[in-house]
Structure formats: C-alpha cells, structure tokens
Amino acid sequence: MASRRKTTVRKTTPEPCPDCRGGQTSESFQVGGRRKRVSDDRQEALCLTCLGTGQSPV
C-alpha cells in the first residue's frame, strides 16, 4: 500500500488590528467627586475590536 503524500498548509501572518495596532489603546479618564473633570493623564485599556490580541478580526 502506497503512502499518501502530505500537503503542507501555509500559515499566513495575521494583519494587525486597524484600531489599536497592538492590542491596547490609551484613553483619558475622569477624576473628581461631583464635578467630573477629564484628567491630562492617559490609561491603558484593551481594544474592544480585537479583545487585546492585536490581530485583525476576520
């Protein structure tokens, strides 16, 4: 019985996410008690498009 020839599957490199380009985004946040004011600082957050993987969703 002859053995079957195995075919190789090429792995393509995934495209980066168009929104974050790496998995995380930075956004401003609000501080204060009653009068919420926007801080000059930024904080890191997960990208909601790719959920932090950095790869473009298919």
| Model confidence pLDDT, tens digit, residues 1-58 | 677 888 888 777 778 888 887 778 888 888 888 888 888 888 888 888 888 888 887 7
Rounded CA gap, 21 and 11, in Å? 20
pTM higher than 0.95, yes or no?
A: no
Q: Which residue in 27, 29, 25, 26 sits closest to 51, CA to CA?
A: 25
3 located within any domain: no
45 located within any domain: yes
Q: Which residue in 58, 57, 49 sits closest to 24, CA to CA?
A: 49
43 located within any domain: yes
Q: How many domains does the chain have?
A: 1
38 located within any domain: yes
Task: Using CB atoms within 10 Å of the CB of residue 11, give its burial: 0 to 12 exposed, 13 to 18 middle, 19+ buried.
Answer: exposed
pLDDT in tens, 24-34: 888 888 888 88
